[in-house]
Amino acid sequence: MVAGATPWLARAALPLLLRLPPEASHGLGLRGIKLLGARWTAPVAPASLALQAFGLRFAHPVGLAAGFDKNGDYLDALGRLGFSHIEIGTVTPRPQAGNPRPRLFRLRGAQALINRMGFNNRGADYVAARVAAARYPGVRGISIGKNALTPLERAVDDYLACLRTLYAVADYFAINVSSPNTQGLRSLQGSDALAGIVEPLQEERERLANRHGKRVPLLIKISPDLDDAELQAMANSLRTHGLDGVIATNTSTKVGGFEAELARAQGGGLSGRPLRDRSLATLRRLRAALGPEFPIIGAGGLMSAGDVRARLEAGADLVQLYTGFVYRGPALLAESLRALSA
């Protein structure tokens, strides 16, 4: 819900934005949200939707996934739309340009996107300054990753650097080991490799918690393409290493029927409606393996209020929008909150 002339402007702008090249459309849309933000009245979630997860309070279950605001430049503007939490990033220690363009592809008929962005961002120091300056009162998550030029055997150094630089401004961290757009990154989801990342992060987190007077939760974002054995191993690792939560899921490289589109895009991961069932199935298997108490954020293929409800009913504590927000705009958030309130 928006004030003044904003409703018809938002409705009129979305079809026009969807005719532009995807990456240009994304940047223009963010600038538009920032420009109109002062006139925006966010939907008000009833107190009954508030919840606690991994030690944090959320006004309601619906947030914005990483990748939409990579650098924290639009945290306040996006926050005015009414998201309970916004995840910034993925952030790397050093700035990097990401993969060559074009690297974002729209499949409008399928309500899907293919992206091979490659962690394009301005680096952890820049993001720390932007998040520190923001006034957004919701939960601020930060997704962290490794620079493309950092060898896999030294990936932990990049995650540790991000943790140290961003610790003071983060409410939680999402350890991104599941993007298909950085070569070899998904190999870090294996039990031994994951331990080599998580255990040093846990140790460093304890030191930083003492220094800053707060304990920032550590979550893992996983791939929807794990088979049953890999998913069970991941569930075991989540419990063994005492992680605070899991985000299920990232984009997919294995959704049937889209092999040709992924090949034409020269790789990348698929998001949107075709990912919905795969992500939902991953969530259900995770919930069964982890039990009822372990915090799970559901993401991937949430295109309607019905999708949001289904993910929560399947065991997610929170959900995150991305591609649905691209195609439907703020109306999807408002629709979801109305449905959850009812």
Rounded Cα–Cα distance for residues 135 and 154 (Å): 35
Rounded Cα–Cα distance for residues 33 and 40 (Å): 9
Fold of 59-341: TIM Barrel (3.20.20)
Rounded Cα–Cα distance for residues 60 and 47 (Å): 8
pLDDT of residue 3: 34
Q: Which of 25, 84, 178, 179 is catalytic?
A: 179
Provide the token pair at 75. 């945290």
The model's pLDDT over 185-218, given as tens digits with 9 standing for 90+, comes to 898 998 899 999 999 999 999 999 999 999 999 9
Rounded Cα–Cα distance for residues 277 and 282 (Å): 9
Helix, strand, or coil (residue 82): coil
- Told to judge if 48 belongs to the known catalytic residues of this protein, a careful annotator would answer no
Q: Which residues, other chains included, contact 307 with Cβ-Cβ below 8 Å and sequence gap of 6+?
A: 276, 301, 324
Q: How many CA atoms lie within 13 A of 283 on its CB side?
A: 30
Dihedral angle at the C-alpha atoms of 38, 40, 299, 156, nearest 10 degrees?
10
Question: Quick one: the chain helix, strand, coil %, rounded to 5?
Answer: 45, 15, 35
> 93 near 162, Cβ under 8 Å?
yes
Domain parsing of the chain, residue ranges: 59-341
pLDDT of residue 183: 86
Rounded Cα–Cα distance for residues 212 and 133 (Å): 18
pLDDT of residue 225: 95
> 82 near 65, Cβ under 8 Å?
no
Q: Which residues of the chain have pLDDT under 50?
A: 1-5
pLDDT of residue 208: 98
